[in-house]
Amino acid sequence: MIYLDNAATTSPKPQSVIRDVTNALKYYSANPGRGGHTPSIKAAEAVYKTRTAVKDLFRVSSEENVIFTSGCTHSLNTVIKGVLKKGDHVVISSMEHNAVLRPLHRLKEKGMIDYTIARVTPGDNDATVNAFRDAINSKTRLIVCTHASNVFGTILPVERICALAHAYGILFCLDAAQSAGVIPIDLSENAYDFVCCAGHKGLYGPTGIGLLLVNSDVLLDPLTEGGTGSDSVNPSMPDFYPDRLESGTLNITGICGLGAGIRFVNHHGIDKIYRHESRLIQRLYHELSSISDVELYTADPKTIPFAPVLSFNIKDCESEKVSEYLNRRYGVAVRAGLHCAPLAHRMMGTLDRGTVRIAPSIFTTDQEIQTLKIAIKNFSYNS
Ligand code: PLP
């Protein structure tokens, strides 16, 4: 199997992740922070070790501001529903994932909030920032913006959009689902108020683990309430992080696996990972440009910064048909369709049939990209 669906979740997982997940099941099957016995203390130490690794990777101000969630969707919901009050307005980009659009849309349907979609102009950051500026109004409380499109790889000018937000006294939340582990994020330099990450993509952890990094004094309302092992006499959730946002038994196996994933990323280096994956995408873009029936949607990735994700279609063909052919005939796993990002497709004119998406990882080889190219070249409408 040639796995090129790493924007969904990375696969394979590093051996060290598999080992640490197994060890967590074997040795840390206890509830951290809930008991004074040895297994509970060991579990708490393991959790703290990963919290510290996350803090160091993103240069978060303290371990307390590292919140473990079940994924980026959970993190984004926590910020959106934890910040917004009746009457608030939100600005998002035209490349947001449904993990942003749907919670906002629901709040809007309930008459709670309103939101505006700012149009991204790939390759023209001034136009993109101006679209955000135009979308802001006196009620805007939050801007949520993806770092990189999960469909087209477009990198958004998030530092500038964050500065714009702060100039208007607006909070800024970064959706780093596609960038964490691939593009550096340094909270000692970047003023993003909240950063939402998936633990199972570029950080190579198992599925079911995510991160919310808090870089602001704002105390979010918790999305879920329950036991934290702290301040238990209080019928309200604690007013301190991370406990305020971490109710219930933590996902110890996921957290230990994420810790190993982060050590794996540190070992290779984010810059090296980015260079490897983007070189493969540049190569593929170049190869696909020479196939007449292939439709590409972005500028040459050599000319513009992008996240290592590439979308294409074959003329007059459903994207699902192409992905089914690649899987059946060549054992190539890619994703087709809308990738949970209808806004991005509407913007690029691909809402009707979606796209075929290629996303390499550090494990992807030149040979695998070569096989993919041959497979696409050999595609015929009767395949
Ligand atoms: N945001 C973006 C840009 C994504 O690509 C994804 C997942 O593909 C998500 C959010 C949701 O992440 P998760 O699956 O970890 O909840």
Confidence band for 39, pLDDT divided at 50, 70 and 90: confident
Integer distance in angstroms from the first to the last C-alpha of the chain? Answer: 19
Report CA torsion sign: 343, 347, 352, 356: negative
Give, for 41, the enclosing helix (H) or strand (E).
helix 38-58
Mutate which of 6, 9, 68, 72 for ligand 1 pocket (most atoms within 8 A of beta carbon):
72
**Does the beta carbon of 91 sit less than 6 angstroms from any atom of ligand 1?**
no
CB count in 10 Å sphere of residue 264: 20
**Tokens 């600005």 appear where?**
91
For residue 160, report the distance from its CA to the centre of ligand 1, in Å.
22
Average pLDDT, the chain: 96
Q: Determine how β-strand 335-337 pairs with β-strand 355-358.
A: antiparallel
Q: What is d(CA 230, CA 243) in angstroms, rounded to the nearest whole number? A: 7
Q: What are the two backbone dihedrals, phi and then psi, of residue 94, each rounded to the nearest 5 degrees?
A: -80, 15
Does residue 210 have its Cβ closer than 6 Å to ligand 1? yes
Q: Which amino acid residue places its CA nearest to atom 6 of ligand 1?
A: 177
List, for residues 302-339, the tens digit of each pLDDT value: 898 899 999 999 998 999 999 999 999 999 999 999 99
Which alpha helices (DSSP H) does 118-206 contain, by range? 125-135, 158-167
Identify whether the C-beta of residue 192 lies closer than 8 Å to the C-beta of residue 164.
no
- For residue 112, what pLDDT is reported? 98
Q: CB of 146 within 8 A of CB of 178?
A: yes
Each residue's pLDDT tens digit, 111-141: 999 999 999 999 999 999 999 999 999 999 9
Model confidence at 206: pLDDT above 90: yes
AA letter at 95: M
User: Where residue 374 falls among pLDDT bands split at 50, 70, 90?
Assistant: very high
